[in-house]
Amino acid sequence: MSREKSDLLRIAEKFETRGKPENIDSHGNGHINDTYLLTCLAAPGESCRYILQRMNHEVFKDPEGLMENITGVTSFLRKKIEENGGDPERETLNVIPLRAGGSYSEEEDGTFWRMYSFVEGADSYDVVERPEDFYESAVAFGHFQKLLAEYPAESLHETIPNFHNTIDRLAKFKKALEADAMKRAGEVKEEIQFVLDRQEDCRVLCDMLASGEIPLRVTHNDTKLNNIMLDHQTGKGICVIDLDTVMPGSALYDYGDSIRFGANTGAEDEKDLSRISCNLELFALYTKGFIEGCGGSLTEKEIKMLPMGAKLMTLECGMRFLTDYLEGDHYFKIHRPEHNLDRCRTQFCMVKDMEDKWDQMQAIVEKYL
């Protein structure tokens, strides 16, 4: 652990837990925040558990705005879940307030801390091991959209400004290309041209949001399988977690990023590009689950644009990897030379495969209109 247990327990005691904090250990394998599992003695022979997190204020520079987003969204979700006869203790994150009031603690060393109830009887998984899990994640993220359909998305803070603004991502790419700080542009002409050939695509969703052709919605923006808690007994997705990137955006962002990550037949940094493709069975399975989970809350235009969401989120990710490679690998952690270039190539290979399968992807989506 990065801090002494005694210090972590001291911080934990500031929150309204049931019983006295007794033990705390590192938890999970997240790369952004520091996460700990706290055990409290609620009564003789009865313990309860919580998640204590140090928020990474270098990534999320407005902790107050971030926690306003999370408390607003989770409070709204609780009400909706209760109205539907669900269990709000397990079906949404529950923020534990400070004993002195407020949703987070700022320590003397400038760090920021928050606490959630621990969701018992469920786990999250890093990779798609069973198609059923991918389907359940789709239903859960779709249901998340449905529950928050009436939430005023425009009231949310942008915790990472322009995160899925593909026009802005393209501009940053061009700036990196022009500067060519590492003198790498000459090595990657094919990848550069791949982006330049798809400049107009980068405008599509941004323009549709700006014109109102598709609605502004509450979006999660990190819809990987490991951000869904799957129930041990039923295998159902019961709770969406990691709400740091909840922001205003398009439902197509959430859908598209899931397809980018979960329907890819290879690893994100695979060197053998022959292993990379868009698995249409997984694409169809996720599409079915997402639309079912949304429960009629998506517009016809949004459903028709789902393939474009998948393509654009994949193109955007590849563009980000290529931009970082041109700038000297300062954003994404790398474990070998040209790691970001390998990542970029897998994303572009996935985009090209989607383009080759475009008619099939659209036909799959049409079934649900």
What pLDDT digit, counting tens, does each position of 216-262 carry?
999 999 998 889 999 999 999 999 999 999 999 999 999 999 999 99
Contacts of 123 (CB under 8 A, 6+ apart): 229, 230, 232
Mean pLDDT lowest for which of 108-117, 174-183, 237-246, 328-337? 328-337
**What type of residue sits at position 112?**
F
Give residue limits of the domains in the chain: 5-119, 131-366
DSSP alpha helices (H): ranges in 97-149? 131-147
pLDDT at site 2: 63
**Strand, helix or coil for residue 145:** helix
- The whole-angstrom separation of Cα 358 and Cα 364 is 10
CA dihedral angle for residue 50, residue 56, residue 61, residue 65, rounded to 10 degrees: -10
Which tokens is 362 given?
């659209």
CA angle 200, 205, 207 (to 5 degrees): 75
- Give the chain's end-to-end CA distance (angstroms, integer): 50
What pLDDT digit, counting tens, does each position of 28-51 carry?
777 689 999 999 998 888 899 999
- The whole-angstrom separation of Cα 345 and Cα 96 is 43
| Cβ atoms 118, 51 nearer than 8 A | yes
Which residues sit opposite 105 in a β-bridge? 113
Architecture of the domain spanning 131-366 = Alpha-Beta Complex (3.90)
The answer to whether 5-119 and 131-366 have equal CATH topology is no
- Please say if the pLDDT value at position 1 is more than 60: no
Residue 294's nearest CA partner among 197, 218, 207, 198 is: 218
How is the beta sheet containing 105-106 ordered, strand by strand?
20-26, 34-43, 46-55, 112-117, 105-106
Q: Structure pTM?
A: 0.93
Architecture of the domain spanning 5-119 = 2-Layer Sandwich (3.30)
Section 88-111 average pLDDT: 97
State the pLDDT confidence band at 362, using cuts at 50, 70 and 90. Answer: very high
Q: Give the rounded percent of residues in the chain with a pLDDT score beyond 90.
A: 90
What pLDDT digit, counting tens, does each position of 54-69 carry?
999 988 999 999 999 9
What pLDDT digit, counting tens, does each position of 287-328 carry?
999 999 999 999 999 999 999 999 999 999 999 999 999 999
